[in-house]
Amino acid sequence: MTDKIFLPNDSMMLSTDFIYGVATASFQIEGGATNRLSCIWDTFCDTPTKVADGSNGLIACDHFNLWQQDIELIDSLGVDAYRLSISWPRVIKESGELNQDGVDFYLNILDALKSKNIKAFVTLYHWDLPQYLEDEGGWLNRETAYKFRDYVDLISQAFGDSVFAYATLNEPFCSAFLGYEAGIHAPGIKGKRFGKKAAHHLLLAHGLAMKVLAKNSPNSKNGIVLNFTPCYPESDLLTDKNATVFADDYFNQWYIKPLFDSKYPEIMAKLPKEHQPEILDGDMAIISHPVDFLGVNFYTRAIYRADADEHFIQIDPPEPRTDIGWEIYPNAFTELLVSLNEKYSLPPIYITENGAAMADKLIDGVVNDTDRIDYYHNHLNAVNEAMKQGVQVNGYFAWSLMDNFEWAEGYLKRFGIVYVDYDTQVRTIKASGHAYKELITNR
């Protein structure tokens, strides 16, 4: 284990043009729930057994009240950028009009970031769909894509030129598959006939929003954030290899291929008709609207074996694993970036999330998370290796600025480079936070 993060001396990631940041998401940190509409995650949290510790996002890290000190904290880490998400139910009323109090909350944050010369990377949808839209079918309702476009239209006008980069969606795979197929994320709907339909409407929402952003905010970099869990076969058997390609198309390529090739992977034809999305004329052209950047989130890989009924099954991840059970396998990060670069004609990439949940202990005011430092060291070097192989990566964001509400895991899993005591809301920079700062400030 190491107590430092270091890159080779000739690394392009040591250039001051390379952007380093920290990332968060609205529902995971804000709290302030009485000042906004209810969202699908509020409902999900209220449903018994859905969230591991029975918790919710009503207070979370109380960032709604503590945002000023949190911006100071971000600044103290020496980062170039902060990736935050906008809570749709905070800024839009049920009538579809702007909620000015909610807008002001974010305008104040954007102003504070500007005054500190920190670039704002704004994600417009990080999973907190207003509940009133879910009541009308949520992402299974095509109309939601147009509601998203209208929200993006209003909010991007309100934000003017204070945003450096907009991402339409965070990880549509998670919204669609985990939320509407596996049912382990909000809104908790289960069934293979739902996942790809939700995915199509999410991607449509992305494309519609890109057009609006190009008009309202031509000077910002506008794109999308996708997550990738690269797929590896359990053995060299052809059946396992084929199963792995199928899984990769189903989980990963499904979300990127429409953006850059204007079509879904060919496995679509192998899905039963009732599992396929309804694609209307012109949809794929909307979805493949050019993007200025691709945001890539990476945490781990997955290993597959062939299965006669289900095409593939995922096997349990081998050691070493993080506290959330995800295998630590940085090589997959390099291989992912290189392979995406080969497969598609990509704009510059930002690594919009990467990080690890570890079983942190706050002892005498210190969190000595050398395991997390190791993770960052190895994964930053994996990105560096991909850049050496020709991939254009312009920035990297640590997930996360601070411990927060980790979705179905509640507050049990800590991803922060800053420790949060949820009883007192005291923040303590972990050793990994100090190491990250040192890397950035020593460039």
Q: Write out the catalytic residue numbers.
A: 171, 353
Decide if residue 227 touches ligand FCB (CB under 6 A): yes
The answer to whether 25 contacts ligand FCB (rule: CB under 6 A) is yes
30-38, 169-177, 180-188, 249-257 -> range binding ligand FCB (CB under 6 A): 169-177
Nearest to 393 by CA among 2, 10, 12, 4: 12
Site string for ligand FCB, 244-273 (x = CB under 6 A): ------------------------------
**203 touching ligand FCB, by CB under 6 A:** no
Residues numbered 397-426 forming contacts with ligand FCB, rule: CB under 6 A: 399, 406-407, 415
Give the interface segment with ligand FCB, choosing from 5-13, 170-178, 273-281, 372-380 (CB under 6 A): 170-178
Answer yes or no whether residue 174 interacts with ligand FCB by CB under 6 A.
yes
Q: What is the C-alpha separation between 25 and 400, in angstroms, rounded?
A: 9
Q: Least distance from C-beta 28 to ligand FCB, angstroms? A: 6
**Cβ-based nearer residue to ligand FCB, 306 or 351:** 351
Minimum distance, C-beta of residue 296 to ligand FCB, in the bound complex (Å): 12
Query: How many angstroms from the chain centroid is the CA of residue 288?
Result: 20
- Minimal distance in Å, beta carbon 357 to ligand FCB? 7
Q: How far is the CB of 107 from ligand FCB (least distance, A)?
A: 23
What b/e readout covers 129-164, taking b as 16+ CB neighbours within 10 angstroms? bbbebbeeebbbbbebbebbbebbbbbbebbeebbb
Q: Which residues contact 51 (CB under 8 A, 6 or more apart)?
A: 44, 45, 407, 408, 409, 410
The DSSP line for 317-371 is PPSSB-TTS-B--THHHHHHHHHHHHHS----EEEEE---------BTTB---HH
- Of the candidates 356, 428, 308, the one whose C-alpha atom is nearest the C-alpha of residue 61 is 428
Total binding residues for ligand FCB by CB under 6 A?
Answer: 12
Rounded CA separation 215/293 (Å): 17
CB closer to ligand FCB, 226 vs 429: 226
Residue nearest to ligand FCB (CB): 25
Footprint of ligand FCB (CB under 6 A): 25, 28, 170-171, 174, 227, 297, 353, 399, 406-407, 415
